[in-house]
Amino acid sequence: MTDRYAVLEQLGLAASNPGAATVKELIDTRGAELPSIDPARGETMAVVRGAGAAEYDQVMQLAVDAFPVWREWPAPRRGEVVRQIGEALRRHKDALGRLVSLESGKILQEGLGEVQEMIDIADFAVGLSRQLYGLSMHSERPGHRMYEQWHPLGPVGIISAFNFPVAVWAWNAMIALVCGDTCVWKPSEMTPLTALAVHRIVQDVLQRSGAPEGTCGLLIGPVDAVGSRLVADRRVPLISATGSCAMGRKVAGVVAQRMGRSLLELGGNNAIAILDDADLDLALRAVLFAAVGTAGQRCTTARRLLLQKGVAGAFLERLTAAYKQVPIGDPLAEGTLCGPLIRHGAVENMMRALELAREQGGQILTGGGRYTQGACARGYFVEPTVVRAHRDMPIVAEETFAPVLYAIEVESVDEAIAVNNAVPQGLSSAVFTRDLRAAERFLSAAGSDCGIANVNIGTSGAEIGGAFGGEKETGGGREAGSDSWKAYMRRQTCTINYSTSLPLAQGIQFG
């Protein structure tokens, strides 16, 4: 068993820790203590003293002051700093991965995978620092050249959630830094230690590189003292926020009112369709990880299983048998596949959702209760659950952040697409089929309306090379790969007249 206190000591964390930091220093905050609770044991590991209004003003002003300096560093030089951050994260991967597991409850393989995700996005950003390309366009006016270029945007506010306590920050921060922006991070109050540990590692790299003090700031504190101020701050041109759809609606409204930009990564209600010709062995493994991984606490978790009638009975029989064999327990123990939910309230939310499912005509096929065997009685453990459901049950349209999977029968690929699209969220989706026409139908404009659509793989486990995000109430934002970097920069269209005349566009004659 991992000595959690040894992990904290290894990462420079104490029993009581400050809740704000810059590149130069950890700020001695004096706010209310925010406990970091080990969800597998229901015990406090350490506390963070919350940041308040004074610390917010200090960190934000430094970010504003640092931006004019940081944006003047050549992008490849900024990329070299990010490369060093990636190398530092590599050196601390094991301890950080264990801390992610201890604090968020995800199993060790997923904790290590989250740290690897930070490393991967740092590597991606290093290459990107030499590829912030603009386009050259042909002008309609003779003797003119027209092109576009991209400039740094400004301080970026990053609000991350507990389920990916550090990877989501890295998706944003590594890209923003090479783009020439400064960053201010407000992590989840439920996972403050991982944020502080990562900031300390980054802080050391930035100090050695000579980066301005406000290049990266950290503010751990309550919504009113930190989060609301960050969202409303006119000095922050971009807010990237990850959380619930309800949170996203509030953030979007405040940011839009001040004419800022918001990059929102919100709820998912993801479906996997399994057609009659699917490889059921492949589908079983994919559904199990997508639905049970991270104890159902991913925005890309599979929450709906759309089964064509020809395979529905056989697949559900195999799936329920597999569910009963899922090892539940200490997320750091070898062999565990399902750890705890993040807090007791999450357990209560799952139980309420299952009661509603029963009232609406659902039938629990396996699971459905708390898991209290042995030492798990002290933590926030539940049984991964499969519910036989129908498409019109209201609860099916909601996202319950827990390992609850609704199994729904469909007649055809077109009905599967219709059911997939019939919820307010639009993040991730998948179809299992050997039929090229069905696969292409699912991926077409008439197919899945989600930001992510997969064939013969599950809904979760996205790679950093592709843009990540969704449509509808998922928020429409895109992070990580592809051309997502453009959200962190401002576009400028330039026209140069190298002639001695002044022709006007559209052939207008004036004078």
Number of H helices, E strands in the chain: 14, 24
Reported as type and span, the H/E element at residue 162 is none
Q: CA-CA distance, 279 to 116, in Å (whole number)? A: 30
Classify burial at 436, counting beta carbons within 10 Å of its beta carbon; exposed 0-12, middle 13-18, buried 19 or more: exposed
Contacts of 426 (CB under 8 A, 6+ apart): 449, 450, 451, 470, 471, 472, 473, 474
Burial letters for 67-79: b for 16+ Cβ neighbours within 10 Å, e otherwise?
beebbebebeebb
Q: CA-CA distance, 150 to 133, in Å (whole number)? A: 8
Q: CA-CA distance, 192 to 19, in Å (whole number)? A: 8
Start-to-end CA distance of the chain, whole Å, equals: 84
- Looking at 295-395, which runs of residues are DSSP E strands? 302-308, 363-366, 385-388
Q: Is 216 a catalytic residue?
A: no
Q: CA-CA distance, 239 to 488, in Å (whole number)? A: 10
Q: Is 376 a catalytic residue?
A: no
- Look-up: residue for tokens 């992510």? 452
Nearest by Cα to 85 from 240, 218, 209? 209
DSSP letter string, 434-492: S-HHHHHHHHSTTS--SSEEEESS-SS---TTSEE--EETT-S--EESTTGGGGGEEEE
Active-site residue, selected from the candidate residues 55, 114, 265, 409: 265
- Looking at 220-260, which runs of residues are DSSP E strands? 238-242
Contacts of 187 (CB under 8 A, 6+ apart): 160, 165, 169, 194, 195, 218, 220
Contact 105, 382 (CB under 8 A): no
Integer-rounded Cα radius of gyration of the chain: 24
Active-site residue, selected from the candidate residues 216, 299, 376, 450: 299
Tokens of 294: 């991270």
Q: CA-CA distance, 9 to 233, in Å (whole number)? A: 35
Q: CA-CA distance, 166 to 11, in Å (whole number)? A: 14
Locate all alpha helices (DSSP H) within 107-166, ordered by sequence.
108-128
Active site amino acids? 265, 299
